[in-house]
Chains A and B, each alone.
Chain A
Amino acid sequence: MFGTLLRFRLRRDRWQLAVWAVVHFLLAYLVVSAVHTTYGTAVERANTVKVMMVTPAILLFRGTPQGTSAGDFMALLGLTFIAVLVAFQSTFLVVRNTRAEEALGQTETIAATAAGRWAPSLAVIALGVIANVIAMIAVAIGCLAGGLPTGGSWLFGAALGAVGLTFVGVAFLLAQLFPAGRSANGWAAALVLAAYVVRGLGDATGTPHLATATLTPAWPIWASPIGWAQRTLPWSPHARVWPLLLGVAAFVVLTAAALVIQDRRDVGAGVFAERRGRAAASTVLRGPIGLALRLQRGVLIGWITAVVAGALLLGGLSGVMVDQLQTAGAGVINALDEIGGGGGSSGSLLQAFVNVGAIFSALLASAICVQGAMRLRQEEAAGGTDAVLSTAAGRMRWMLSFVVVAGVGAVLALVLGGLVAGAVAGDKGGGFATWFWAVVWEAPAVLVFLGIVALVFAVLPNATIAVGWTVFGLAAIFGLFGPLFGLPQWARDLAPFAHTPAIALPHPDFTGGWAMALIAIALVVASLVLFRLRDTKPGA
């Protein structure tokens, strides 16, 4: 029974597993290659790591300095980001196979057979374990292909696999608590990002040891599953396996707790009971805009909160950074420029940091756009589109409502983020106006994402979700690692963020910003026109 169910799950998820494996491999391989090209010698690495050690803002986004070998750099620059991806793979996988199915009634179909109560869940957990073993192997092979030592590569892979495993447990527990797949996914995403930020606080507030180019992170690192993976110190002489066991133990405890809860609840029910709704619609829910706002409320609140929280951290750290860097020399600044995405231009360290902060905010805000446009397809597949189009609301109005809500939400996120970052940073941290405009000028690039995904929806509706996540994933990788990869200029130019006016620099060029705004508008208009030409296609 268990075997049948597991084979069924494996078969259904085989493409996702394959795509994720390729992504993990490529990412590990590309970051290692970038480390080799950008920081080829031990001297270069030693210089860079010393700057980073006194720059909490950089450590927040990267990891723990643990030495000057190429492997140590891989752990410093690549671990936390790949960990976030592995964690997302796990949470999506578990929720997709548990609560999302349960909400559709498929679980009931299986529960009505001889499968019993436990076998279906155990099959999903086994799938999660298999997925993370594959992730471990893919990452390790990526590191080996990049020429890193064997032992460290496998420890690195295993550490990331353990992060994924922990989040299998987290997502499985969340799936028991919430009655809707979307809520479980939303909370899982929040916890993944929280794990990233908490370990970041540990790294940012750690104690640097300049002589050995290592850093002892503060206690928050131990409060995060990603932090446990970092503490294995792969490739370092002090590498150890035991922190991995924390991740495995967390997986076992969370899974056991979830199974106990599952054993006590009805199929289809959550632990948090469904709240009653209003008996009548409020005045807001009066048309397509009201509906779009209502349906995207959770996504908007979640990402806007993330942007503001990120802005708070970035703005706060920019002041601290200046204090700590009073003594840093000019050579140091060039090294930082490269990490920060200043592209080796004449910008100062602070300017580079403002730039990173703006891109980071833009990335979070573009999630609103990508998810907003994907919502068009989700609505169409679920039949909500037909329900609305069977009324007096036309196609244009329906589609525009979702696009406008997502677009306005993203711009609002940037404006709030810019205000908060600027206010917290103050004059010492770069100045209010610099921060504010740097973040707000990301808006055109962010809106391009909305246009791209909306256009795909209009032309190739079945590809919307896949393209949406791919575009977002690429943006995240290029936004955070782009400068490190040393790509040719034309490839960099493909990323919308590359055309954002660099407000922090002395003479920002606004042409790119206006061009992006025009492209975003053109894409949206084209998608509106093209959607009017096709049949709606409910169903998957």
Chain B
Amino acid sequence: MKAADAGQPVIETRGLTKHFGRVRALDGLDLSVGRGEVHGFLGPNGAGKSTTIRVLLGLARATAGEARVFGRDPWREASALHRRIATIPGDVALWPNLSGGETIDLLVRLRGGDATSAAYRSRRAELIDAFQFDPTKRARSYSKGNRQKVALIAAFAHPAELYVFDEPTSGLDPLMESVFTRQVGRIAADGGTVLLSSHILSEVEKLCTRISIVRAGRVVESGTLTELRHLTRTSFSFERAGAGGAMLTDAQLAGIPGVHDLALAEGRVSFTVDSDAVAGVLPALGALGVQGLQVAPPSLEELFLRHYGDVVPPAEAA
């Protein structure tokens, strides 16, 4: 790590805009990823995640706005920057007649790594073992999951300062996903920065320290998971039958402070509460002696849906 870089964001874009003919893939996207962050880059298909990544890698040139990676221009200084970056593309493209092992070595060498160094050989062997990967098969005969493994092993086998992952676990089985999770944990512990583009919310929830949500080419929300959770509500539910079997009355339920979306179904009461008002609700519930209480923090899914509005119930948006 270079001292000059300390303090400044690893990735920073301001008003990033990219047009393809009349399509606005990016429409003033502001993104900031600090050093050491595992930054979740969330959004549905077509939101502009991959286009952003292509600009950050110097594969596409921004129509307007500014992009900086390690404080430098990713278009002009692509090769120099790429020595410090490991990537997993959204569509892993392999050369059909190269074996998986050859491809991994080639990609690492192209990044400036030494494929004969002992450190690399042992890391590579470890990863091949962990991902249960056969490096001698030709790339054309690999399944989707195995193609993904080639890119994953190549990215993890040689250390980088920044890791740019575009939907890295697509095609992987849950076992392999957990191997991926461990590897991200390892690089984060080593001080690496990660930009993780995904639409698998549980993965982002598990791995990321900060999150940016993209919609229609702009970042609509950015912050830590805790910060974002404050923007939504916690949901409560319990049985309508109280401790002695007596039903709680409507009047009793109405006495609970800060309740939204009150609903009764299958003998259970459910409602939501603004996340900063949760502390006020608990004494009231204690006084009522509720049974089978379940409290769920807002899931990332709810956060996400909030920004892709159509499916969210109107009460939530009110």
Partner of B93, one of A280, A294, A384: A384
Cα A103 to Cα B57 in complex, Å, equals 29
0/1 string, A286-323, CB within 8 A of B gives 1: 11101100110000000000000000000000000000
B97 contact set on A, CB distance < 8 A? 180, 277, 294-295
B138 touching A274, Cβ below 8 Å: yes
Q: CB-defined interface of A273-289 with B at 8 Å, one 1/0 digit per residue?
A: 01111111110011110
9 A-B pairs whose Cβ atoms sit less than 8 Å apart in the complex = A182-B96, A277-B101, A279-B136, A280-B135, A281-B104, A286-B115, A386-B59, A391-B110, A535-B59
Asked if B105 is at the interface (CB within 8 A of a chain A CB), the reply is: yes
Q: Which residues of A contact B89 (CB under 8 A)?
A: 383, 386-387, 390
Q: What are the residues of chain B within 8 A of A386 when measuring CB–CB? A: 54, 57, 59, 89, 93
Contact A387 B136 (CB under 8 A): no
Any A CB within 8 A of the CB of B82: yes
Is A538 part of the binding interface, using a Cβ–Cβ cutoff of 8 Å? yes
Given contacts A103-B140, A277-B136, contact A391 B107 (CB under 8 A): yes
With A277-B138, A294-B98 as contacts: A389 and B106 at CB distance below 8 Å: no
B61 within 8 A of A: yes
A180 proximity list for chain B (CB < 8 A): 96-97, 140
Contacts of B59 in A (CB 8 A): 386, 389-390, 535-536
A179 to B240, CA, bound (A): 65
A535 touches B60 (CB 8 A): yes
- Annotate A106-124 by CB proximity to B: 1 below 8 A, 0 otherwise: 0000000000000000000
Which residues 68-115 in B have Cβ within 8 Å of A in the complex? 78-80, 82-83, 85, 87, 89, 91-107, 109-112, 115
- Whether, in the assembled complex, A190 has its beta carbon less than 8 Å from a beta carbon of chain B, the answer is no
Question: Separation in Å of the A460 CB from the closest CB of chain B?
Answer: 15
Binding site for B on A (CB under 8 A): 103, 179-180, 182, 274-282, 285-288, 290-291, 294-295, 382-384, 386-395, 397, 535-536, 538
Closest beta carbon of chain B to A188's beta carbon, Å: 18
Q: In the complex, A282→B106 CA distance in Å?
A: 9
Nearest CB on A from B197, distance (A): 14
Alpha-carbon distance between A275 and B99 when the two chains are bound, in angstroms? 10
Contact pick for B83, options A383, A387, A392, A397, CB 8 Å: A392
Q: Is the CB of B57 within 8 A of A295?
A: no
When distances are taken between beta carbons in the complex, the residues of chain A under 8 Å from B60 are 535-536
Asked whether, in the complex, the Cβ of A391 is within 8 Å of the Cβ of B82, the reply is yes
Whether A389 and B96, one on each chain, are in contact in the complex, defined by CB atoms closer than 8 angstroms, is no
Would you call A392 and B106 a contact (CB within 8 A)? no
Please determine whether B79 and A291 come into contact, CB atoms closer than 8 angstroms.
no
A384 near B95: Cβ-Cβ < 8 Å: yes
| Given contact pairs A390-B59, A390-B87, A383 touches B93 in the complex (Cβ within 8 A) | yes
List residues of chain B with CB within 8 A of the CB of A387.
Answer: 89, 93-94, 107
Report A-chain residues with C-beta under 8 Å of the C-beta of B103.
281
Answer yes or no: B159 CB below 8 A from chain A CBs.
no
Check if B137 is an interface residue, CB within 8 A of chain A.
Answer: yes
**Residue B58 at the A interface, CB < 8 A?**
yes
Q: Let me know if A538 and B93 touch, CB within 8 A.
A: yes
Contacts of A392 in B (CB 8 A): 79-80, 82-83, 110-112
Beyond A287-B110, A391-B111, is A274–B140 a contact (Cβ under 8 Å)? Answer: yes
Asked if B141 CB lies within 8 Å of chain A CBs, one says yes
What is the distance, in angstroms, from B109's C-beta to the closest C-beta of chain A? 5
With the chains together, A391 CA to B59 CA distance in Å?
11
Contact check, B137 vs A277: say whether CB atoms are below 8 A apart: yes
Chain B residue with the shortest CB-CB distance to A281: B105
Q: Are A279 and B141 in contact (CB under 8 A)?
A: no
Q: How far is the CA of A282 from the CA of B140 in the complex (A)?
A: 19
Q: Which of B80, B103, B109, B138 has the most CB of A within 10 A?
A: B109
Closest 9 CB pairs of A and B: A277-B99, A383-B93, A281-B105, A391-B110, A394-B79, A535-B60, A279-B101, A281-B102, A392-B83
Which residues of chain B are within 8 angstroms of A182 by Cβ–Cβ distance? Answer: 96
Q: Do residues A281 and B93 form an inter-chain contact, with CB atoms below 8 A?
A: no
User: Interface code B133-176, partner A: CB below 8 Å = 1, 0 otherwise?
Assistant: 00111101100000000000000000000000000000000000
Checking A280, A388, A391, A536 against B105 with a beta-carbon cut-off of 8 angstroms, the contacting residue is A280
Residues in B with CB closer than 8 Å to A295 are: 95, 97
Known: A286-B115, A384-B93. 10 other contacts (CB 8 A): A277-B97, A278-B99, A278-B101, A280-B135, A281-B102, A285-B98, A291-B95, A386-B93, A391-B111, A538-B93
Closest residue to A395 on the B side, CB-wise?
Answer: B78
What residues of A have a CB within 8 angstroms of the CB of B85 in the complex? 390
Q: Which residues in A have their C-beta under 8 angstroms from that of B87?
A: 390
Contacts of A394 in B (CB 8 A): 78-79
| Residues in chain A near residue B110, CB distance under 8 A | 287-288, 388, 391-393
In the complex, are the beta carbons of B58 and A389 less than 8 A apart?
A: yes
Interface residues of B in 160-212 (CB under 8 A from A): none
Contacts of B106 in A (CB 8 A): 281, 285-286, 290-291
A281 close to B115 (CB less than 8 A): yes
A524 CA to B168 CA, complexed, in Å: 37
* Whole-angstrom CA separation of A4 from B183 in the bound complex: 49
Question: Do A277 and B111 touch across chains, with their CB atoms under 8 A apart?
Answer: no
> Would you give the 0/1 interface string for B256-282, flagging 1 where the beta carbon is closer than 8 Å to chain A?
000000000000000000000000000
| Complex-state Cα separation, A73 to B190, whole angstroms | 78
Measured between alpha carbons, how far is A103 from B83 in the docked complex, in Å?
33
Q: Within 8 Å CB of B82, what residues of A?
A: 390-393
A386 to B87 CA separation, bound complex (whole angstroms) = 11
A480 to B274, CA, bound (A): 82
Complex Cα gap A538–B54 (Å) = 11
Kindly report which residue of chain A lies nearest to residue B81, judged by CB atoms.
A392
Q: How far is the CA of A286 from the CA of B109 in the complex (A)?
A: 6
Known contacts being A286-B115, A383-B89, is A390 close to B96, with CB within 8 Å? no
Contact across chains for A285 and B105 when beta carbons are under 8 A apart: yes
In the bound complex, residues from chain A placing their C-beta under 8 Å from that of B109 are: 281, 285-287
> How far is the CB of A296 from the nearest CB of chain B, in Å?
11
Report the separation of the CA atoms of residues A487 and B296 in the bound assembly, to the nearest whole angstrom: 84
Contacts of A388 in B (CB 8 A): 110
**A323, chain B: closest CB distance, angstroms:** 47
Question: How many Å lie between the Cα of A285 and that of B98 in the bound state?
Answer: 10
Q: State which residues 22-74 of B face A: CB under 8 Å.
A: 54, 57-61
- Chain B CB within 10 Å — which of A274, A387, A535 has the most? A387
A95-B107 Cα distance, complex, nearest whole Å: 31
Within 8 A of A (CB), among B197-233: none
Minimum CB distance partner of B101 in chain A = A279
Query: Which residue among A382, A392, A394 has the maximum number of chain B CB atoms within 10 Å of its CB?
Result: A392
